[in-house]
Amino acid sequence: MGRLRGVMNAEQFKKEVLPVKDKLYRLALRMLREPADAQDAIQEVFLKIWRQGTALKKIDNIEAWAMRVTKNHCLDRLRSRNRQTQALEPYQLDVDDRPSAQEQLEQGEAIGQLRELIGQLPEKQKLVLQLRDIEGMAYQEIEEILDMPLGQVKTNLFRARQKIRKLLLAVSKETNIHGR
């Protein structure tokens, strides 16, 4: 089978696109909430990227561009399912150190509580928080991915962190008043 003109070769795809597949999947999962939907979305995004071919050489930051393509594709999927206003599932936090069953239970409760609190954030704040604090992306990358001015990125992140802090304090006070 011959190589189509303008389509990237497999080596280029493996070198430039596959290294970011996990980040793309996590973003798709965050937005679509279903692992199977996220996997399907990533396959479709990979196909879109593959079809860009040699045009990818003009893109300065393949990772940020691929994240933006993924975000837009997921938004399109949500719109087509008439679920545009559905809230995103809160963060999937990994807890690796689980020395005892009691600590594991407490950590599970804390993570569940944090997920619930993050679930109360507006969608833009959730996405900015995900990309900055979980994925560790730079502000400029987030600006490009979300097509949002840098000032708005920083404002959304500040507000998200501030609201989570405020909600955690309220929960902590409530717990102290009523006991565990």
CB 115 within 8 A of CB 93: yes
Question: Taking the model in full, what pTM does it have?
Answer: 0.52
Tell me what percent of the chain is helix, strand and coil, each rounded to the nearest 5.
75, 0, 25
Looking at residue 156, its pLDDT comes to 94
Q: Among 36-40, 129-133, 161-165, which stretch is predicted with the lowest mean pLDDT?
A: 129-133
Looking at residue 91, its pLDDT comes to 47
Looking at residue 98, its pLDDT comes to 45
The residues near 31 (Cβ < 8 Å, ≥ 6 apart) are: 38, 71, 74, 75, 78, 88
Q: Is 9 left (phi over 0), alpha (psi -120 to 50) or beta?
A: beta
Q: Domain end: 34, 59, 86, which one? A: 86
Q: State whether 103 and 178 are in the same domain.
A: yes
Q: How many structural domains is the chain composed of?
A: 2
Strongest mean pLDDT among 138-142, 161-165, 174-178: 161-165
Q: Among 27-31, 36-40, 58-62, which stretch is predicted with the lowest mean pLDDT?
A: 58-62
Domain range enclosing 114: 99-180
Rounded to 10°, the helix 35-52/21-32 angle is 130
